[in-house]
Structure 1
C-alpha cells in the first residue's frame, strides 16, 4: 500500500485486531505439516507445491484486477521476486530443512526474536510510531513466549546448544523480518490480495530451480495421497489464508504492531498439539498466555 494512501477505516481496524488472534491459528497448522513431512515430501518440493496451489487459489479471487493492471506488473516485478524469495522460498523451505535437525525449543526461541527485530527496524527505518506502551507490550509478550518455550524452567536458557538446523532457522528469521519491512515500505498499485498473489508467483519462480536440484541430487519426494494432503494443507491454511491476513493487518496496523502475532505461535502450537497429537497442556502455558495477551493489547493499541 502506498505510504500516501489514507488510513484504515474503523471497520478495517476492528477486523485487523480480530485477525491478530486468527492468523497465528492458521500458521500453527504449519507445525503439523513440518512434523509430518520428513520421509514423505522434501522441503523445497513441499514449499513449491504449497505456494503453487496458494497462488492459483488467490488468483481466482483477484484475476480481474491483475488483468486490468497487467501493464503495471512489470514495474513491480523486481519487488515480487524479492518478496517471493524472502517469504516463500527462505521462510518456507529453510524452515522445513532446519526442522529436520533442530529442536522445537530452538526454533521457538529464534523466531521469538523476529518481532523485536521488526519493531526496532520499523521505528528506525519506517519511522513508525512505537512508544513506551508498545515497547512494554513487546517485552511482556517476549517474556510470555520464552516462559512457554522454556516450560517455565528459565534455567534451561543457558543449556541450549546450536546445530546446523539453527543456522537455517536463523536465516529464515532474518528474511521474515526483511519481508515484513519491505512489504510495508514498498508501495504497490495492487490490492493486498492481488499483490500477495503476484508475490506468490514470484516465490514459485525462485523455488523452481532449487526444487529441481533437491530432487535430482539430494532428496527425492514420494507421490502419494499423504504428500498431496500435506501440500494442500500448507497451501490453503498457513499459506494463502494466513499470508493474506498478515498483509491486511500490516496495512491497517503497521509492521511493528502486527509482528507480535508471532508470539502467539507457542500457545497455538500447544493447542494444536493437544487437540491433534494428544500432547499435554500445562500451567506454564497459562502463565505464558497471561503475559502474551496483555502484551499484544499494549503493542497494537493506537
Structure 2
C-alpha cells in the first residue's frame, strides 16, 4: 500500500493559516462599527440600525450559500430555536443594545467592560466545553488584558478608580454577557450547516427578534428618517462588521476553539485607536505602543497549541 502523500494534511494546515490570519483581520473589520456607532446618533435609531444591518447581512451571506440552504431546507426546522436564541444574543443584544448603551456612556467604560469578555469566554470554555487552557495560554490572556487596561486608562492607572457605573454601562455589561453566551453556544451547539449558511440563519433569527423592538422604538421612543446618511451607515455596518466579521468569527471558532478566538477582542482598543487616527484625526499616544507590546505577544501565547 502506498503511503499517504506528504500534503495529505494540507487542507487542515491551510484552514489554520487562514484562521490565525483572521485573528488580526476580524478586529479591524469590527472597528468599523466604532465609526458607525459614533456617527449614528441624530441619523438613525439603534434598533433601526441593527435591523437594517442584519437584513442586508443576511441577504449578502445568503447569496453565497443559497445552494446549501435550499439543499438542507428540511433541516432548518430542527435548529430554528438555536437560530432564534443565537440571533437574540448576537444581533439584538450585541447589536441594538450596544448602540443604545453607547449613547450614555464613555468609550473608556465600554472598553473596560468589553475587556472582560475574552476572560469570561476562556474560563467558561475551560470549565464547560473542556477546552484546555494551559499555563502559557493563561499567561497570554493576562498579558493581553494588561495591555488593554493600559490603553484604556491611557497609561494612568489611577484612572481605574475614576470609572463610574451609569445606565449605559449596564447596557454594555449586558452585551458583554450576551457575547460570552453567544460565543460559547455557537461552539457548544452542533449544526448541520456550514459557517456561512448557519450565520445566515442566525441573522434571520436576529431579524425576527429585532422587528418588534424596532417598531416599538419608531413609535414610542426614537423614530428614524430615511436618508443617504442612514442608508450608508446601515450598509457599512452590514458588510464589514456584520457579514464579514461575524463570518470570520464563526470560521475561527470552528477551527481554533472558543477560548483562543475570544482573545481577538483584545485587539479592539488598538484598532479603534488606529481608526480614530486615520479617520477622525485623533492622536496615537505612547501608551498605545506600550499596550501593543503587551497585547500582540499575549495574542500569540494565548493561541498557541
TM class, shorter-chain normalised? Answer: over 0.9
1:195 aligned residue: 198
* Deviation of 1:222 (Å): 1.3
Question: Which segments of 5 or more consecutive residues in structure 2 lack a partner in the other structure?
Answer: 1-8
Q: Distance in 2 between matches of 1:223 and 1:273?
A: 27
Say whether 1:164 aligns with 2:196: no
Say whether 1:16 aligns with 2:19: yes
Q: Distance in 2 between matches of 1:181 and 1:153?
A: 34
1:259 aligned residue: 262
Question: Which segments of 5 or more consecutive residues in structure 1 lack a partner in the other structure?
Answer: 1-5
* Deviation of 1:81 (Å): 0.3
1:186 aligned residue: 189
Q: Distance in 2 between matches of 1:30 and 1:234?
A: 6
Say whether 1:151 aligns with 2:157: no
Question: Which of 191, 211, 215 is 2:214 aligned to?
Answer: 211
* Deviation of 1:104 (Å): 0.2
1:140 aligned residue: 143
Question: Which of 78, 83, 87 is 1:80 aligned to?
Answer: 83
Say whether 1:238 aligns with 2:241: yes
Q: Distance in 2 between matches of 1:187 and 1:78?
A: 13
Q: Distance in 1 between matches of 2:291 and 2:177?
A: 25
1:173 aligned residue: 176
Say whether 1:91 aligns with 2:91: no
Q: Distance in 2 between matches of 1:63 and 1:206?
A: 22
Question: Which of 112, 118, 122 is 2:121 aligned to?
Answer: 118
* Deviation of 1:137 (Å): 0.3
Q: Distance in 1 between matches of 2:132 and 2:249?
A: 19
1:3 aligned residue: none
Secondary structure, in 3 states, of the residue corresponding to 2:274? helix
Q: Distance in 2 between matches of 1:272 and 1:249?
A: 23
Question: Which of 276, 281, 284 is 1:278 aligned to?
Answer: 281
Question: Which of 65, 70, 81 is 1:67 aligned to?
Answer: 70
Q: Distance in 1 between matches of 2:225 and 2:157?
A: 41
Compute the TM-score of the two structures, normalised by the length of structure 2: 0.96
For these two proteins, the number of residue pairs brought into alignment is 296
Say whether 1:108 aligns with 2:111: yes
Q: Distance in 2 between matches of 1:156 and 1:172?
A: 23
* Deviation of 1:298 (Å): 0.4
Q: Distance in 2 between matches of 1:97 and 1:231?
A: 16
2:252 aligned residue: 249
* Deviation of 1:10 (Å): 1.1
* Deviation of 1:271 (Å): 0.2
Q: Distance in 2 between matches of 1:48 and 1:150?
A: 33
* Deviation of 1:16 (Å): 0.3
Q: Distance in 1 between matches of 2:77 and 2:303?
A: 35
